[in-house]
Structure 1
């Protein structure tokens, strides 16, 4: 790879040559990785959690040393002069290296001291960075009280107190809503115009497409190095859109994923997006006589799935073992009637109303701090509403909370498992919590262990599992008692694309058995799986409809075919304009 390939800079800022790093007896966190990072460009370090991204970044900072291979950063060998590197770079760690009990200004003051910024330069630097990040109005607010996007902006400001030649950002967009992510991208793009080299680590594959250059990691190995277009070019003539289908789209997708010539497929509103095998045309006969097949633009994720050998197919053993849920299709399974939650003078959720029918996926979307998590927590009984009411399977969450919780399964990316308990102990604990007893309890535990292939991991603490297995375990625990409703709170953040496909194959198939799903997500492509979406902003529901209906609301001559992200941002901006009028 030449220096020109790394970006717009003439000389690489980072040279990585055959770097390997191991921790104990585990497989190599990095396995003979080589690459370059240029100046004046954004290099994407892309891959799922556990791919080796954070390890590689820490090696660049000199905080760790490689077992074998060499790394040179800004002309310094990381083994010989880590202090020289640390004085010259900007670094924003993944785990938010700010002090949440200090204000925005106090964090800036502290980092200015740590970075040795002369007091004579501080006023102008603070003013420039607070303007750049739009945080001037919040200098007195505690960092812990900021939204996720504002925290990331403050972290970026602290990393830029002394203008670096190289800026290392470890997953700055994780858990951040589309508006905040777009703001962060604009800020970082402006930095590259000053010649700064930026390494942007991410598990969001759509972010890879915005980079000048990409290093793609998976399980410690470098799978690809080059321009994003070179990656998507692998599948340029193999991506299709199926429309005009007969029957329920989830059933059609499951059938198409088993069809000859199809290696991957996802729901996209009322249509289905397919990736074909090389030199194969997808067989869409199972989609009905009226179905049509048209070429679609390829995405980075399409090419990544192709590189990994294709998706998991359309079969769900979990759903096959599930008895169809009972209930009246005309009666809502989940109901929100005027739900309101106040914390002192602050209204987090204001008169939220909707209902979700049997066998429906309903999405709660919204920027960080908008009130969607508050609404979600009220509906699954974790938070008592100030006003209004919520019901699950007919049970009032105020009066019959225990009965309501027995009808639902809850899954979150964090906190829904007990890390110090083993896989088997988690399965046993949750089966007991959900009231399973005797032979039936043992049968369900054995079934979950078999379906999700926990075999050799049953004695392993949950905290030590790879993220994909943690997600499978969390889903197994949530569906142990065959609930009528599933509450999914950011369920796939950070997992690899194959595991995400596997997860949604299970969810789609469970919905076909009558299970009702309420989901929050920052993945806009996952929002396409929803039958309907409520967009929450400033504590209110500002839009309600199907993905295609929300996209149609913001379509213009200039943007005739908007994405869900375009719709999300446009609807929020419309709401802001209406509030300001």
Structure 2
């Protein structure tokens, strides 16, 4: 029988799937775990770790091949319906009906769960209040921003009162303000409903909020414990390094991450670099690696321990250093050395009476990494689509690689590589076939196609014969990047390329971006991971179509009022909320 103090007991859980080579592989391999009742529990791990498979086994949607799963006292193999009657589950894609309104989605889920009319009125009313969605009940779900879809998905999941809530990466693809709001809602539900929650997440700051954390990799549980217990595993191994004046932090980070025999992990933070030393590497050897950079010990964080655990697991290899020469553009864009690669002046885009982008202006220099940030619905993707020539501007001037997009769109497009949010891959084609198709679309000849396909497959460590649909999300991202770079463009657009990607894959991604920029490629990127803004030379923050600020990461933090004492998440929220408050005051005064 299940212990009264346990919501979930998993013993020896193994789940097999057919691999792309026809051989079975173990998505879950003899997993043991116990989830305490009334707690908030996190599942963390890289892509393919088994998090979603474990969640689906807990819901009774997947049958174990070996082992046992008991949820709320019920055997998942024999009593899946009894479990499903008492839990709520929100998958990664929210499960919304985009042609239905907010209210119709809520009513549909209430009907599906058999919620009585007198109960549903109060329950839906509370969910609308918690999510601040009462103003939008008549809006179709397909017209909501990503953050609002996230809130509606959670409200639909909780239209009945469950004993256990399962959330599979609920904050994928949403901005810091929406993430903050989600966790405020969860805190309210846990406090008032005594709700047990299991959440899988790619954000270590979210895992730090939880009572217990399970670290998975390759279908196995590597470690479990409270965030404090896990964090202590990195004690004595964590440092901060400050690069010499004029040296971008990402250059020092690249040097450190390319020394896996001495360094576990390295990331830019606040103009510095946070890094983790290999336990067997003497501290005295760090000076030669760091050169002129000043460095000192710092307190460890959960993400440090997470990366330590993954690196120590033999099935998680350190990414190979990127060869810049293989990624360098074969020619330049035709611009003079001092001319901006991208020039935007008074850019406006309207959809009927709605202004998606309002009088935006900025320049991007050659070899610069330029970050375009903003809340969901801020106009980032619309701006991107105009820059790529996929959407005409209503008014304003837009030049890419020296070509005016009103008169030279085709020439501008030939200088651009583009990786979209949804990865425009052909799922039924192999890796090689996808790359050959994109090479043909960009007009590469037969011999050049063969050369470039070989180069990018080696660069991104891709297996040529695997079908795109069988790739884990992190490898789909690599394939999408390879396709965008197949024609050696001088300008690369990346629209939220790391959405849903774990920290391990994000490190490898940004290592490649650093190498691209050093090779002369101009990179424009949108992201909801605010720590990734630290890799950028400059960032711009938009909200409601308006440009709020353009500057270096340090200038943005200073403008937010915190200087070096706040991280980029806090700076982003402060900049957006200050602008919204000023606008509200202006409207009230008018």
For the superposition of Structure 1 and Structure 2, which TM-score range results when normalised by the shorter chain? over 0.9
Whether the 8 Å CA contact 1:255–1:314 is kept in 2: the answer is no
Q: Give SS of 1:23's match.
A: strand
Q: Give SS of 2:26's match.
A: coil
* TM-score (normalised: structure 2): 0.92
- Report whether the alignment pairs 1:283 with 2:291: no
* CA distance 1:237–1:552, change in 2 (3 Å): farther
CA distance in 2, matches of 1:44, 1:105: 31
Structure 1 residue 406: Cα displacement:
0.8
Residue-by-residue CA offset, 1:329-381 (whole Å, 9 max, x unaligned): 32100122111111111111111111000111000111111111111111111
CA distance in 2, matches of 1:314, 1:439: 27
Q: Which residue of 430, 453, 465 corresponds with 1:422?
A: 430
Aligned counterpart, 2:15 = 21
Aligned counterpart, 1:578 = 582
Aligned counterpart, 2:588 = none
Whether the 8 Å CA contact 1:246–1:287 is kept in 2: the answer is no
* CA distance 1:89–1:286, change in 2 (3 Å): closer
* CA distance 1:459–1:335, change in 2 (3 Å): same
CA distance in 2, matches of 1:335, 1:232: 45
* CA distance 1:498–1:161, change in 2 (3 Å): closer
CA distance in 1, matches of 2:411, 2:373: 27
Structure 1 residue 287: Cα displacement:
4.7
Aligned counterpart, 2:297 = 295
Structure 1 residue 247: Cα displacement:
5.4
Q: Which residue of 554, 561, 580 corresponds with 2:560?
A: 554
CA distance in 1, matches of 2:483, 2:7: 47
* CA distance 1:122–1:262, change in 2 (3 Å): closer
Structure 1 residue 390: Cα displacement:
1.7
Residue-by-residue CA offset, 1:383-412 (whole Å, 9 max, x unaligned): 111111221110111211111111111113
Whether the 8 Å CA contact 2:438–2:483 is kept in 1: the answer is yes
CA distance in 2, matches of 1:129, 1:446: 52
CA distance in 1, matches of 2:311, 2:220: 16
Q: Give SS of 1:65's match.
A: coil
Whether the 8 Å CA contact 1:42–1:189 is kept in 2: the answer is no
Superposition RMSD on alpha carbons, in Å? 2.1
Whether the 8 Å CA contact 1:324–1:514 is kept in 2: the answer is no
Whether the 8 Å CA contact 1:49–1:203 is kept in 2: the answer is no
CA distance in 2, matches of 1:323, 1:378: 23
Aligned counterpart, 1:304 = 306
* CA distance 1:549–1:321, change in 2 (3 Å): closer
| 1:108-119 alignment runs, 5 A limit | 108-119=106-117
Structure 1 residue 252: Cα displacement:
3.2
CA distance in 2, matches of 1:339, 1:565: 27
- Report whether the alignment pairs 1:71 with 2:75: no
* CA distance 1:516–1:325, change in 2 (3 Å): farther
Structure 1 residue 246: Cα displacement:
5.2
Q: Give SS of 1:308's match.
A: helix
The worse-fitting range, judged by mean Cα deviation, of 217-226 and 252-261 is 252-261
Aligned counterpart, 2:174 = 176
Aligned counterpart, 1:125 = 123
* TM-score (normalised: structure 1): 0.93
Aligned counterpart, 1:224 = 223
Structure 1 residue 512: Cα displacement:
1.1
| 1:334-413 alignment runs, 5 A limit | 334-413=342-421
CA distance in 2, matches of 1:337, 1:317: 36
CA distance in 2, matches of 1:69, 1:508: 45
- Report whether the alignment pairs 1:255 with 2:255: yes
The worse-fitting range, judged by mean Cα deviation, of 66-75 and 438-447 is 438-447
Q: Give SS of 1:458's match.
A: coil
* CA distance 1:183–1:394, change in 2 (3 Å): same
Q: Give SS of 1:384's match.
A: coil
CA distance in 1, matches of 2:350, 2:24: 48
Whether the 8 Å CA contact 2:347–2:358 is kept in 1: the answer is yes
* CA distance 1:523–1:284, change in 2 (3 Å): farther
5+ residue gaps, structure 1, are: 4-9
* CA distance 1:252–1:196, change in 2 (3 Å): closer
Structure 1 residue 140: Cα displacement:
0.8
Whether the 8 Å CA contact 2:323–2:515 is kept in 1: the answer is no
CA distance in 1, matches of 2:89, 2:555: 41
CA distance in 2, matches of 1:526, 1:383: 27
CA distance in 1, matches of 2:187, 2:78: 32
Aligned counterpart, 1:213 = 212
The worse-fitting range, judged by mean Cα deviation, of 46-55 and 63-72 is 46-55
- Report whether the alignment pairs 1:512 with 2:518: yes
Count of matched residue pairs: 569
Q: Which residue of 454, 462, 466 corresponds with 1:446?
A: 454
Q: Give SS of 1:232's match.
A: helix
Residue-by-residue CA offset, 1:54-108 (whole Å, 9 max, x unaligned): 2211111112221111111111111222221111112222222221111111111
Structure 1 residue 184: Cα displacement:
0.5
Residue-by-residue CA offset, 1:27-65 (whole Å, 9 max, x unaligned): 111111111222322111222332222221111111222
Whether the 8 Å CA contact 1:325–1:514 is kept in 2: the answer is no
Residue-by-residue CA offset, 1:113-149 (whole Å, 9 max, x unaligned): 1111111222222222211111111111111111111
Structure 1 residue 197: Cα displacement:
0.3
Structure 1 residue 535: Cα displacement:
0.4
Whether the 8 Å CA contact 1:129–1:157 is kept in 2: the answer is yes
* CA distance 1:423–1:241, change in 2 (3 Å): same
Whether the 8 Å CA contact 2:346–2:395 is kept in 1: the answer is yes
| 1:468-547 alignment runs, 5 A limit | 468-547=474-553
Structure 1 residue 209: Cα displacement:
1.4
Whether the 8 Å CA contact 2:369–2:525 is kept in 1: the answer is yes
Residue-by-residue CA offset, 1:395-438 (whole Å, 9 max, x unaligned): 11121111111111111342322222211111111222222214
